[in-house]
Structure 1
Amino acid sequence: MELMWGLNNQMPYLLPDEYSRVANKDCHPMCEGMKLVLNRYRFDVKPEIINRSIIEATGLVYECDFNVKKHAESLHYAGEHLKEISGIDFEDWDLLKTCNCSHDTGNLKKLFGDDYSTLVEDAPKYKDKGFRDVACYRVYEEMLWARKVRFKALRHLAALIRTAHEAYDTEQVMSHE
C-alpha cells in the first residue's frame, strides 16, 4: 500500500497529463510515514484534505527531522565522553549544545554555564578521543540549517492545512445546500 501511495504521488511527474488517469481519491491518501510526521507535530488532518502541497511540505519536514537525527547517535557518544572525562551530565542537553563543545561559537560561557570552566580545563583530555573541530562544526551547521528550514516548513505546512480545512469545510457546506 505504501509503495502504491508513492507511485501514485509520482505519477504526474512520470506521465504526461493526457496519459495519467489516476483518480484524485487515489492520488492523495496518507501513508503511514506521513501520518507519523503530522501526528508528531500535532496536526489534525483529515485524509480528505490532503493535496500535493501538503504532501511535499510534510516530506520537507521529514527530511529536516532526518538531517537533525542522523547525527544524534554520534553526539550522544560524544556526550558519553563528556560524562566519563569531565563528569558533566549531558542528558538534558540539546544535541546542538553537545556539538558546541568542540568549537567556539561566541558565547560559550553563557551556553554552558557552570560546566564551562570544567570544559576549558579538561579540553586537552579530549584530544585523543576523536573530536574533530571541522567535523563538529559541519554537523552543527547542518543541524542548525535543518532546524531553521524545518521551522519555516512547519509554519508553511500549518498554513496549507488551515487553507485545505477551510476549503473542505466550505465545500461541505455548499454540497449540503
Structure 2
Amino acid sequence: MSLGLHYVLNRYGCDVKTDMVNEQIVATASALFQCDSVEKQYSGALRRAGDLIRDVSGINCKGWTLLKIATALKMIWWPEFGDSCEVSEDEVLRLVVDADRYQVHKNKDSCLRAYKDMVEAHEVKTSKKELLKSLVELAKETYKAEGPEKNI
C-alpha cells in the first residue's frame, strides 16, 4: 500500500490491511484525495477572503468551512443563483448590501470558480466517504470469510 493511500484511508477512518485493498478502494480513495487537494488549493485564499468578509461586512467567518466561505463569496455577486443554505439570510443580506465594497478586493470570476470547485469537491467527498466505508467493510468481511491465504 502506498503512503498516500495509507494517509487517505487513515484520514477517513478506514483501518485495512494491505492485502484487503482492491481497485475500488484505491479509486475511491483517489477521488477523496483529489477533493482534499481542491480544498488545500483554495484554503489560503478562502481564509483570506473570510478575513475580508469580516473587515468589510463585519461577519466573523472564524470556524466556517471553506465551502461556507466560498458560498458567501458567491452570494456577494450572485445571491439569486444557487443554494445559499450554508449562509444565513441575514448574512446574505449584509453581503449583498456591501457588494460594491468588495469590487476592489476580489475577482468575481475567481470567486465563482472557487465556489463551483468547492461545491463539486464537497458533493464528491460526501458520496465517496460513504462508498469508501462500505467498500472497506465489504473487504473486511471478504477477508474474514476467505482468510488471508486466499486474498494474496
TM bin, normalised by shorter chain, reads 0.7 to 0.9
1:31 aligns with 2:2: yes
**TM-score (norm. length: structure 2):** 0.80
Show the counterpart of 2:127: 152
Using the TM superposition, give the Cα deviation of residue 75 of structure 1 relative to its aligned residue in structure 2, in angstroms: 0.9
Contact 1:88/1:115 (<8 A) preserved: yes
1:94 aligns with 2:68: no
1:116 aligns with 2:92: yes
Report sequence identity in percent. Answer: 30
Match of 1:54 among 21, 25, 28: 25
Cα gap change, 1:128 to 1:38, in 2 (>3 Å): same
Cα gap change, 1:110 to 1:150, in 2 (>3 Å): closer
Contact 1:68/1:147 (<8 A) preserved: no
In 2, Cα distance between the equivalents of 1:53 and 1:127?
45
In 2, Cα distance between the equivalents of 1:109 and 1:155?
22
Using the TM superposition, give the Cα deviation of residue 97 of structure 1 relative to its aligned residue in structure 2, in angstroms: 2.1
In 2, Cα distance between the equivalents of 1:87 and 1:174?
62
How big is the alpha-carbon RMSD for the aligned residues of Structure 1 and Structure 2? 2.5
Show the counterpart of 1:73: 44
Show the counterpart of 1:129: 105
Instruction: Structure 2 unaligned segments of length 5 or more: list them.
Output: none
Of structures 1 and 2, the one with the larger relative CO (CA 8 A, separation 6+) is 2
Paired residue type of 1:147: H
What do the CA deviations read for 1:76-103 (whole angstroms, capped 9, x no partner)? Answer: 1111111222222101222222122333
In 2, Cα distance between the equivalents of 1:70 and 1:167?
37
Using the TM superposition, give the Cα deviation of residue 108 of structure 1 relative to its aligned residue in structure 2, in angstroms: 4.9
**Number of aligned pairs?**
145
